[in-house]
A and B are shown apart, each in its own frame.
Chain A
């Protein structure tokens, strides 16, 4: 079930009384209303930052990725026809950017294989979002051991409530492949947390 902040068009209102709804704001922003766009950035920035931090493992890179995603969205708004909810569209852009970012760090690598154990990116910028408890640290480390696609799929599912369809679109793989990535991710995480406990 998609998260909050959207109004679906149609006779039945849904979501909390967000005022005005995303699709109305997106329609205005598409026509050049930069104030409406700022409201959308303000509304969705925090969740997208959390997503990017979890996928990239680095706060500064995450801010850059989300900033570029929003600027790209502003430029592409004239082609956005509301086929997907604005929030879903942004998740797609941000996930795509983050996976490309990871791909550019290791150009020869495939995003569905695991990095070498001593992969530099894990040690160089360990600014993971929640390190307050040992359990959170352990979860963060275990997440970093996943392949980028496994991590992206798991984070989108467990921390952002995206549907399998939405995840498939965001990551650019099939619905079936998403289930496989999430299974592998959970398998590793349950093992890691079991060993930790």
Chain B
């Protein structure tokens, strides 16, 4: 296998002025290949330009092969990567503020991340809805842990077939139920913002609704 023995010139940020024998710049010919330059009738007739383009096409073929070869080869292990990343992440969780469970005089709490997980799950269970950001805040803010009712702020993506008011109401109901039945958290308000659209194909039972 013969390799090109010429070293690659260093990058010096000067424009590349390499010219083909016909006088065209190599860069401009390749720009046509990239569909970044105007189509040029000269290219159809000129053997030098044709060679330059052919070389680039040959490289394209190799790139295609490289892409599919990369698909097949399991040289690096994505499953091991995920496991190792998550081992570290689980040591560095972000629980968020503690929110009060039960009555005002009880010393029982749930961290925001755990409450948010329940509320997102409740919203996800509504057909054609995917939950995003979920924050749980005391109604009356204070330093440290505050006992009192809370408000939930949720962002969701909803299927196009949902009417905005109906989906917000459905999510609100789901979250309020979860607050009562799954947690025991005094949720006084649920703000729902629909921030994105889901394709109806994404919805578990895609199609008309509301």
Contact = CB atoms under 8 A, between A and B. Distances in A.
B197 A32 contact: no
Interface residues of B, number: 69
A177 to B, nearest CB: 6
Interface in B4-56: 4, 6-11, 13-16, 18, 26-27, 30, 55-56
B186 interface: no
A63 B75 CA distance: 10
Contacts of A127: 75
B143 interface: no
Interface string A144-167: 011101100000001100000000
B21 to A, nearest CB: 16
B78 A46 contact: yes
A34 B90 contact: yes
Contacts of B73: 129-130, 132
A197 B1 CA distance: 9
A104 interface: no
Interface string B62-87: 11011101101101111011101110
Contacts of A185: 8
A37 B4 CA distance: 44
Interface stretch (B99-107, B125-133, B169-177): B125-133
Nearest to B88: A71
A67 B84 contact: yes
Interface of B is mostly: mixed
B193 to A, nearest CB: 11
A17 B130 contact: no
A63 B60 CA distance: 27
A66 B58 contact: no
B13 to A, nearest CB: 6
Contact of B201 (A17, A38, A187): A17
Contact of A24 (B6, B55, B132): B132
Contacts, number: 218
B130 A19 contact: yes
Interface string A44-65: 0110011011100001001100
Give the most central of B2, B77, B85: most A CB within 10 Å: B85
A41 B4 contact: no
B4 A191 contact: yes
Give the most central of B3, B4, B72: most A CB within 10 Å: B4
B63 A23 contact: no
A118 interface: no
Contact of B3 (A21, A54, A192): A192
A136 B133 contact: no
Given A32-B96, A33-B116, A33-B120, A184 B9 contact: yes
Contacts of A80: none
A168 interface: no
B113 A32 contact: yes
A185 B16 CA distance: 12
Contacts of A189: 59
22 contacts: A17-B201, A24-B131, A28-B120, A32-B113, A33-B116, A37-B86, A49-B78, A53-B75, A54-B70, A63-B76, A70-B81, A75-B92, A112-B10, A113-B11, A129-B73, A129-B76, A159-B67, A177-B13, A180-B13, A184-B16, A187-B8, A193-B58
